[in-house]
Amino acid sequence: MDIKGDRYRTLTRRAMILGAGQAVALSALVARMVQLQILDADQYKMLAEDNRIDLRLISPLRGRILDRRGLEIANNQLNYRVSVIPEQAKDFRSTLVRLSELIPLPEEKIEAVIRQAHRSRRFLPVTVSDNLTWDEFARVNSIVPELPGVQPDAGRSRFYPYPADFALLAGYVGQVTEDELKKLPDDPLFMLPEFRIGKRGLEAYHDQSLRGVAGLRRVEVNALGREIRELARVDSVPGKDLVTTIDGDLQRFAMERVGEESAAAVLMNAHSGEVLVMASSPGFNPNDFNFGIKPDVWRALLKDPRKPLLNKAVQGQFPPGSTFKPVVAMAALEAGVIDPTATVFCPGYMAYGNRLFHCWKHGGHGNVDMRGALEQSCDVYFYEMGRRLNVDTIAAMANRFGLGHAHDIELDHEAAGLVPTRAWKRHNRRDPRWHDGETLSVAIGQGYMLATPLQLAVMASRIANGGHAVEPTLMKEKVDAGWPRRFAPLGVSPEIVQVARDGMIAVVEGGRGTARGARIRDWPRGIAGKTGTSQVRTITAAQRAGGVPRNENRPWEERDHALFVAFGPVDKPSYAISVIVEHGGGGSAVAAPIARDILREALIRDPCGLTGGTPYMAMGEADG
């Protein structure tokens, strides 16, 4: 037996198997190297580059909000802040605790930042603190090398130079919430710590154009993610400036004149529709919302019975009271149920069914025609108009003069008001029948009637301009573009509108006018108006017999609302105004003087209503 030969053959086979295995392994290694270095070279090069190169968004500068002359209602100011990138921080909580030794950072704020970091992507920076002082900012910068992920920087934040005067008009901005993220399209810009979106007012309605377009930085970073140098940059595009029709000086005057009342005032050009004043009081400080409003401040705003967060000019809905009577007068004339010279006797009440409908004047007004009824605001005269008219006829005239529907003013949450009809009650009330006595209440602007101050200003404008369907706007570029040059007629004859105008002139300029105390003594061309006092509670027969307490002797929430609408000058009206003082008492005593002072200020500045714009005459009148 050749033992040596057998061992040699066995060794040779093992060597061949081992060699074959090595060859296979080497071939696989070579193939893998070919794949990595040749076939997939571009992909891995890109991955390596991605580890070295970081793309960072540049938040765009938000567009400003300006008044018609360029006064800044909202702008952007320098803001020192510090952020932390969770992915780069070794211990996120420890980093925040260390920062709290340098800047004000209470425990609840630390917890809030941690919660925010959990909701965000770990590679995105989370804002820790905004609006730092220079000393605080410098202290943070001094320890940046010791704290990976900490990013102090100087950016721009929203600022409102005249906070209380324009708060409810401009609105405010804030960070994107989780609920908003679910509704908005996916955009990494929303995750940037400095980025804000409009939450209320013009900021919210025009948010898209105010935002601008994000820029992009391509930077080289080290292993810790710290920026080494900038490789490329595409600058952001600032948002578009928003130029409004508001007259900033008049707006501030109106807010000062209204004071601390819970009130609203709207002044508009009766021909072009430009809104020059949109005041709502009390205001608040929108700057509080930029960096997260403090809980105690938020609670105080919510609990305030005067509702400072409600823009009463477009969201407040009130019974228009006697300011509605000119519309009822025109409805009666158009329906042919009365002649303007015919009289109605007012003994101080009207018996209808088993009810007595009382006039505001206890002893009555005696015999009054339409002009006298408007001048003295006789309730009985208009109860009689309600008895002769169908509620749908009144509603149709009210709709034509701007009541009962929104006007698509460029603000969020505009209310539609309410002008009741038979069909409305059939679909919205438990008792579907319309009772004739309800028409009497509607005829004096009570019952189901509701209107916003903006709607009442539109109503006054359409009466002032002779019956043209002027629409309100806050956008200067619309008017400059001629948005239209001429508003369509309402289809009410000029003679009928003139009766309403004459009655409103008598309210202020007449010897018995309810607002004769609101005359502008140093303005010879005169103004026209209509007072209104709307009840907020029903007065029972027993209460009336016992004597109704005066407004000043009632709790604030039980006092009547005070209203006044006006226009001027009487010969060629250019401006119309509405004022509502919530729970203010009598319209002639409270609302009329406020409206007079604001209207006077506008007329003295520019009697023709051409402030900052091109003349517009709805009726083809000569320039005032």
37 lies in a domain? Answer: no
Are 220 and 126 contained in the same domain? yes
Are 429 and 513 contained in the same domain? yes
pLDDT of residue 71: 96
Write the CA distances from 289 to 107, 187, 235, 447, integer angstroms: 21, 22, 27, 39
- What is the average pLDDT across 193-203? 88
Instruction: Check if the beta carbon of residue 490 is closer than 8 Å to that of residue 401.
Output: yes
Other Cβ atoms less than 10 A from the Cβ of 612: the count is 17
Task: Say which amino acid occupies 300.
Answer: A
Instruction: Check if the beta carbon of residue 308 is closer than 8 Å to that of residue 448.
Output: no
Instruction: Check if the beta carbon of residue 434 is closer than 8 Å to that of residue 425.
Output: yes
110 lies in a domain? Answer: yes
pLDDT of residue 176: 83
pLDDT-based confidence at residue 342 (cuts at 50, 70, 90): very high
d(Cα 411, Cα 314) in Å, to the nearest integer? 8
d(Cα 505, Cα 511) in Å, to the nearest integer? 11
What digits encode the pLDDT tens for the residues 426-460? 999 999 999 999 999 999 999 999 999 999 999 99
d(Cα 617, Cα 428) in Å, to the nearest integer? 41
8 lies in a domain? Answer: no
d(Cα 171, Cα 597) in Å, to the nearest integer? 26
Flag whether pLDDT at 222 surpasses 70.
Answer: no
Dihedral of CA atoms 461, 463, 464, 467 in degrees, nearest 10, equals 100
d(Cα 173, Cα 144) in Å, to the nearest integer? 30
Instruction: Check if the beta carbon of residue 204 is closer than 8 Å to that of residue 171.
Output: yes
Flag whether pLDDT at 545 surpasses 60.
Answer: no
Flag whether pLDDT at 224 surpasses 60.
Answer: no
Does residue 377 sit in helix, strand or coil? coil
Which element (helix H / strand E) includes 573? none
pLDDT of residue 193: 67
- Burial of 527 by CB count in 10 Å (0-12 exposed, 13-18 middle, 19+ buried)? buried
How many separate helices (H) and strands (E) can be counted in the chain?
A: 22, 19
Are 183 and 267 contained in the same domain? no
Does residue 52 sit in helix, strand or coil? helix
616 lies in a domain? Answer: no
Task: Say which amino acid occupies 468.
Answer: H
pLDDT of residue 41: 60
pLDDT of residue 621: 37
pLDDT of residue 611: 52
Instruction: Check if the beta carbon of residue 618 is closer than 8 Å to that of residue 487.
Output: yes
Prediction pTM value: 0.82
> What's the CATH code of the domain at 220?
3.90.1310.10
Ranges assigned E (strand) in 418-569: 528-534, 561-568
pLDDT-based confidence at residue 43 (cuts at 50, 70, 90): low
Are 316 and 408 contained in the same domain? yes
Which of 177-181, 421-425, 526-530 comes out lowest in average pLDDT?
177-181
- What is the average pLDDT across 208-221? 86
In this structure, what token pair is assigned to residue 98?
């260390």
Are 239 and 263 contained in the same domain? no
What digits encode the pLDDT tens for the residues 408-428? 999 989 999 999 999 999 999
Radius of gyration over every alpha carbon of the chain, rounded to an integer in angstroms? 35
Are 239 and 269 contained in the same domain? no
pLDDT of residue 66: 97
Task: Say which amino acid occupies 133.
Answer: T
Flag whether pLDDT at 376 surpasses 50.
Answer: yes
Write the CA distances from 216 to 175, 235, 347, 369, integer angstroms: 21, 7, 78, 73
Question: 129: closest CA among 147, 148, 155?
Answer: 155
d(Cα 14, Cα 18) in Å, to the nearest integer? 6
For residues 280 and 538, the model is more confident at 280
Are 331 and 234 contained in the same domain? no
* DSSP codes joined into one string, 281-314: ES---GGGGTT---HHHHHHHHH-TT-TTS-TTT
Are 183 and 312 contained in the same domain? no
> What's the CATH code of the domain at 600?
3.40.710.10
Are 350 and 417 contained in the same domain? yes
* DSSP codes joined into one string, 143-197: TGGGSTTEEEEEEEEEE-SSHHHHHHHH--EEPPPHHHHHHSPP-GGGGSTT--E
In this structure, what token pair is assigned to residue 306?
């005067």
4 lies in a domain? Answer: no
Task: Say which amino acid occupies 391.
Answer: V
* DSSP codes joined into one string, 75-104: EEEEEEEEEE-TTT-SSHHHHHHHHHTTS-
pLDDT-based confidence at residue 319 (cuts at 50, 70, 90): very high
Q: What is the DSSP letter of 622?
A: P
d(Cα 596, Cα 441) in Å, to the nearest integer? 28
Are 276 and 392 contained in the same domain? yes
Q: What are phi and psi of 569, to 5 degrees?
A: -70, 165
pLDDT of residue 537: 62
Are 400 and 320 contained in the same domain? yes
pLDDT of residue 460: 98
Which of 183-192, 248-257, 469-478 comes out lowest in average pLDDT?
183-192
Ranges assigned E (strand) in 365-444: 366-368
pLDDT of residue 6: 62
Question: 143: closest CA among 94, 87, 86?
Answer: 94
Which element (helix H / strand E) includes 544? helix 541-546
pLDDT of residue 612: 39
Question: 469: closest CA among 393, 407, 546?
Answer: 407
- Beta-bridge partners for 349: 358
343 Cβ partners below 8 Å, 6+ apart? 367, 368, 369
10 lies in a domain? Answer: no
Does residue 383 sit in helix, strand or coil? helix
Average pLDDT of the chain, as a whole number: 86
In this structure, what token pair is assigned to residue 126?
């989370």
Rounded to a whole number of angstroms, the distance between the first and last alpha carbons of the chain is 135
Q: Over the range 82-97, which residues count as b (16 or more CB within 10 Å of their CB) and which as e?
A: bbbbbebbeebeebbe
Flag whether pLDDT at 9 surpasses 70.
Answer: no
35 lies in a domain? Answer: no
- What is the average pLDDT across 120-135? 79
The number of folded domains in the chain is 2
Does residue 272 sit in helix, strand or coil? coil
Are 225 and 288 contained in the same domain? no
23 lies in a domain? Answer: no
Q: What is the span of the domain harbouring residue 316? A: 259-296+308-605
- What is the average pLDDT across 10-37? 71
Which of 30-44, 56-70, 112-126, 575-589 comes out lowest in average pLDDT?
30-44
pLDDT of residue 615: 39
pLDDT of residue 614: 38
What digits encode the pLDDT tens for the residues 588-620? 899 999 999 999 999 988 877 765 343 344 433
